[in-house]
Amino acid sequence: MKKTLLILAATALAVLILVGGVFAQKKPDVIGTWIGYAIVGDGGRVDVTVVLDKGEAGYTGKISDTTGLVPESPLKEIVFKDGKLTFEFDLAEGAEFRLIKIELTLENETLKGVWSDPDGNSNIIELTLKK
C-alpha cells in the first residue's frame, strides 16, 4: 500500500513537472526578420529590414532598406539584454562611413527606439517581426 502511494505520488509529480515545462513561458528573443521604418533627415521615412540570428559567438545580423540608402550592412556590437536591443553599423556615404547606433526596446513583437549618429542627429525607428 505504501509503495503504491509512493509510486502514485512520484508519477503525479513527474506529470506536473512535464506539464509545467510545456506551459512555461518562452523567453523573449529577437531572432528573425524585422520590417519597419526609420525617420531620417527632415522627417523622411525609410523602410528598413533588420535580420538577426544567434550563433555560438552571440548575435549576428544585417540591415538594409528598400531605397538603397542603406546598402545591406553587417551589424556589430549586438546586445540583447532585459528586453533592450542595441547595435551599430557603418552607413556608407560615398567613400566615407558614418557610425549609426540603434537602441530598441522589445514590446511583444515590436522593436521601438531611436537611431543616432556622431553628429548628434537622431530620430525614431520601429520594427515589427515578420511572420
Q: Is 110 helix (H, G, I), strand (E, B) or coil?
A: strand
Would residue 7 count as lying in a domain? no
Would residue 69 count as lying in a domain? yes
Mean per-residue pLDDT, 44-73: 92
pLDDT band at 26 (very low <50, low <70, confident <90, very high): low
The structural domain count of the chain equals 1
Would residue 2 count as lying in a domain? no
Mean per-residue pLDDT of the chain: 84
Annotate 7-69 with DSSP letters as a single string.
Answer: HHHHHHHHHHHHHHHHHSPPPP---EEEEEEEEETTTEEEEEEEEEEEETTEEEEEEEESSSS
**pLDDT digit string, tens, across residues 109-126:** 999 999 999 999 999 999
Would residue 4 count as lying in a domain? no
Taking 70 as the threshold, does the pLDDT of residue 79 lie above it? Answer: yes
Residues 86 and 115: their CA atoms lie apart, in Å, by: 10
Would residue 55 count as lying in a domain? yes
Any idea what the CATH number is for the domain that residue 122 is in?
A: 2.40.128.120
Domain of residue 62: give its range. Answer: 32-129
Would residue 98 count as lying in a domain? yes
Taking 90 as the threshold, does the pLDDT of residue 89 lie above it? Answer: yes
C-alpha separations of 116 from 64, 88, 96, 99, 119 in Å: 16, 10, 17, 9, 8
Mean per-residue pLDDT, 22-48: 83
